């Protein structure tokens, strides 16, 4: 079993005295069902799984009254061999998007509090007109993603102690010993290729066969296409698919700003903006917004109509490229995608740590890949795929725009020059 940080979040939720139902969201195949199922079996005396995707008949449990006593009675009759003991039972409503009335029932379970309830699934499939009343204020939300880089390290045998030791080099800005540095860079490249989808990681750890990993990744991508066909409505189906498949072309450009004209000649925000947001809500892409000026509050300086689009899992992005792309990345032959791949992985790491994504571009002459709040300062972050690449834009924005803190992420070991700190790419997880 893969060690996941979300397990601690689930335990913290369980220990709350006055908790509401928990709704776990996230893209398909990030391991929601597996993690919750395992958590339930290890932490509750009694556990009932109701999967609306596997058994549509379970919808009948919620067809009549949503009073908790009635629901418990219906569950007892509908699910074989269950024990529903108050204070000692977890009810897991999986793929809840397929049963709108079960979504409303979360409110009543939260008020009643005799049973712990976790719901999971994608809310994309919901026809909100069919939900009698959305349980606003009665549900706690937890977003689950694919494995982050630290979790990938754990899966590959790197211990917690080793990560803590690495963090000490980060904190003290002392160079990492060469052997450890090279090992971590190699592991980072493998994370770029494999990504964090649990099935792909498990296959890589067990076989180290990249062709098997690629097949799993492309099956997941096909599943995204199926989700679009299943959940997107009307003409949104084709528009969402067009936006999705344009991502490699969008990121291959020197200027990676999302351009609707690459989706379709003459394409516009009016036609495609809703489809892009659909992909974001599906947990497939991240937005990185341009700043009008690089200062706090970052969110207040966003240009909402100027942004980049990154894949949420870089392994899936690599799988969208032609055969052989993974081998090129491992060998350092990245071609036109060199900048895109490294930007995408850092964007993925930042979002998995809870950060929103911002960048800064001025007159097509100066561009900073990311701006983050770090140590309570506006911090410019440049991402470089090689050791000796100069960060001219980084120094310019510090000299001319009042930015006090600059970080360059590259394959180079830790160092500092002209007020810019260089960290190895793998240390992005500590930012």
At residue 123, does pLDDT exceed 60? no
pLDDT greater at residue 323 or residue 201: 201
At residue 342, does pLDDT exceed 70? yes
Under 8 Å between Cβ of 167 and 20: no
Alpha-carbon distance of 58 to 77, in angstroms, equals 11
At residue 125, does pLDDT exceed 70? no
- What is residue 332's predicted lDDT score, i.e. its pLDDT? 76
Mean per-residue pLDDT, 168-194: 97
Question: In whole angstroms, how far apart are CA 161 and each of 18, 109, 302, 408?
Answer: 35, 41, 39, 26
At residue 250, does pLDDT exceed 60? yes
Mean per-residue pLDDT, 161-180: 98
At residue 232, does pLDDT exceed 80? no
Q: Encoding tokens for residue 216?
A: 């799993």
Residues in the chain: 431
pLDDT, tens only, 62-77 = 999 999 999 999 999 9
Sign (positive or negative) of CA dihedral 69, 13, 37, 317: positive
pLDDT greater at residue 392 or residue 79: 79
Mean per-residue pLDDT, 349-371: 94
- pLDDT category, 126, cuts 50, 70, 90? low
Mean pLDDT, the chain, integer: 93
At residue 78, does pLDDT exceed 90? yes
- pLDDT category, 130, cuts 50, 70, 90? low
Pick the closest to residue 429 from 163, 220, 243, 192 (CA basis): 163
Question: In whole angstroms, how far apart are CA 291 and each of 37, 232, 286?
Answer: 42, 31, 16
- What is residue 228's predicted lDDT score, i.e. its pLDDT? 82
Mean per-residue pLDDT, 205-209: 97
Under 8 Å between Cβ of 43 and 186: no
- pLDDT category, 129, cuts 50, 70, 90? low
- What is residue 326's predicted lDDT score, i.e. its pLDDT? 86
- What is residue 331's predicted lDDT score, i.e. its pLDDT? 84
Alpha-carbon distance of 290 to 298, in angstroms, equals 10
pLDDT, tens only, 13-64 = 999 999 999 999 999 899 999 999 999 999 999 999 999 999 999 999 999 9
Alpha-carbon distance of 198 to 201, in angstroms, equals 5
Alpha-carbon distance of 389 to 409, in angstroms, equals 11
Alpha-carbon distance of 391 to 411, in angstroms, equals 13
């Amino acid at each position: 079993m893969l060690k996941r940080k979300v397990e601690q979040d689930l335990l913290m939720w369980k220990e709350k005295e006055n908790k509401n139902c928990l709704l776990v969201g996230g893209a398909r195949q990030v391991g929601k069902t597996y993690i919750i199922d395992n958590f339930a079996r290890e932490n509750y005396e009694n556990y009932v799984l109701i999967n609306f995707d596997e058994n549509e008949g379970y919808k009948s449990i919620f067809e009549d009254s949503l009073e908790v006593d009635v629901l418990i009675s219906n569950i007892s009759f509908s699910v074989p061999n269950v024990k529903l003991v108050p204070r000692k039972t977890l009810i897991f409503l999986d793929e809840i998007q397929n049963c709108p009335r079960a979504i409303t029932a979360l409110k009543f379970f939260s008020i009643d509090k005799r049973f712990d309830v976790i719901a999971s699934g994608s809310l994309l499939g919901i026809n909100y007109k069919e939900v009698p009343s959305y349980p606003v204020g009665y549900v706690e939300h937890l977003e689950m993603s694919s494995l982050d880089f630290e979790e990938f390290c754990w899966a590959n045998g790197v211990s917690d102690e080793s990560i803590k030791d690495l963090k000490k080099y980060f904190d003290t800005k002392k160079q990492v010993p060469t052997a450890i540095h090279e090992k971590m860079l190699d592991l980072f490249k493998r994370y770029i290729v494999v990504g964090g989808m649990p099935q792909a990681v498990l296959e890589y750890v067990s076989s180290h066969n990249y062709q098997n990993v690629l097949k799993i990744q492309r099956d997941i991508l096909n599943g995204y296409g199926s989700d679009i066909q299943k959940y997107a409505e009307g003409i949104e189906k084709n528009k969402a698919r067009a936006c999705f498949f344009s991502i490699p072309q969008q990121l291959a450009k020197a200027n990676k700003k999302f351009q609707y004209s690459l989706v379709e000649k003459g394409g516009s925000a009016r036609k495609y903006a809703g489809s892009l947001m659909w992909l974001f809500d599906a947990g497939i892409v991240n937005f990185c917004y341009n700043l009008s000026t690089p200062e706090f509050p970052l969110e207040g300086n966003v240009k909402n109509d100027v942004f980049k689009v990154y894949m949420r899992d870089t392994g899936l992005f690599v799988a969208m490229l032609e055969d052989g792309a993974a081998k090129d990345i491992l060998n350092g032959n990245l071609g036109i995608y060199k900048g895109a791949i490294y930007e995408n992985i850092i964007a993925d790491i930042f979002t998995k740590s809870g950060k929103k994504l911002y960048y800064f571009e001025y007159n097509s002459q100066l561009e900073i890949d990311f701006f983050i709040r770090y140590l309570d300062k506006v911090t410019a972050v440049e991402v470089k795929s090689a050791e000796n690449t100069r960060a001219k834009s980084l120094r310019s924005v510090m000299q001319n725009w009042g930015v006090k803190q600059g970080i360059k992420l590259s394959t180079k070991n830790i160092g500092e020059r002209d007020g810019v700190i260089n960290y190895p790419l793998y240390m992005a997880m500590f930012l």
